[in-house]
Amino acid sequence: MTAQISEGLLLEGEQVPMMATPLGQYFELGGEKPEFQATCSALWRGYRGSWEIIDDRLYLVGLQGNGLGGRTITQKDLFPDYPERAFAHWYSGTIRIPRGKLLEYVHAGFGSQYEQDLTLTLDRGVVVSKQVIHNGTAPEGATEGYSPAAMTVFQQGDAGGKQE
């Protein structure tokens, strides 16, 4: 188990980590899925999406993915006619945006807890509610900003990955 690299979200002019993978739902609903390759244990999904919320609507605005043989997969591969902005109308669910200092580091998924969580609930790509959850106050000197603390990097082009 390894903490996972978050998706990126531009929210009200600020770049924040996004603890949700809306593209996973796109693939679940039948959207064509390229053969992403995991290149490190902190990114099992093999890609990192960049998102933006404009007028309460979620858009995919960038994609960096690794394909077979180290091929780069971009948004253009998924949405050829929408290489710069695609409305994520397929996504329903919550998006967690951690804020403040680290309360508890969890080395799995998006499990780490921060002082606050901004939770956005979306219905078919549209934000329908926002909630701020206060999880506690971190001790003096606690780190700020989300990041996995360790990971294993695999060899390129090896689906299983070799540990080092």
Partner 1 sequence: MNYLYGYLAVGVIYGLSVWIMHKLRPSKNELNDTITAALDKAKEGQPFSFLEDILVPFLAILIIVTAWPVLIVMHIRDKRRFERRLDDDGEEQFTVTAEDVLEQLTIQEIEQREMVMDPLHSVPDLPFGHLNPVWVKFKQSLNEQDAIYSFTKIWQPPLSLYPEEVSGYVCVRDEQPEHFILTKVVELRLN
Which are the contacts of 73, defined by CB distance < 8 A and separation ≥ 6? 34, 36, 47, 63, 64, 65, 66, 67
**Cβ count near 131 (within 10 Å):** 10
State the binding string over 39-78 for partner 1 (x if CB under 8 A, else -). Answer: xx-xx---xx-----xx-x-x----xxx---x-x------
- Of 22-41, which residues contact partner 1 (CB under 8 A)? 25-26, 28-32, 38-40
Encoded tokens for 45: 């999904």
Query: Using the rule CB under 8 A, is 1 a contact of partner 1?
Result: no
Tokens 């006619």, residue located: 81
Cβ distance to partner 1 smaller for residue 96 or 103: 96
Asked if residue 18 lies in contact with residue 95, where contact means CB atoms within 8 angstroms, the answer is yes
Give strand pairing partners of 44.
none
Q: Which residues bind partner 1 (CB under 8 A)?
A: 5, 25-26, 28-32, 38-40, 42-43, 47-48, 54-55, 57, 59, 64-66, 70, 72, 79, 81-82, 85-87, 89-90, 92-94, 124, 143, 145, 147-151, 153, 155-156, 158-164
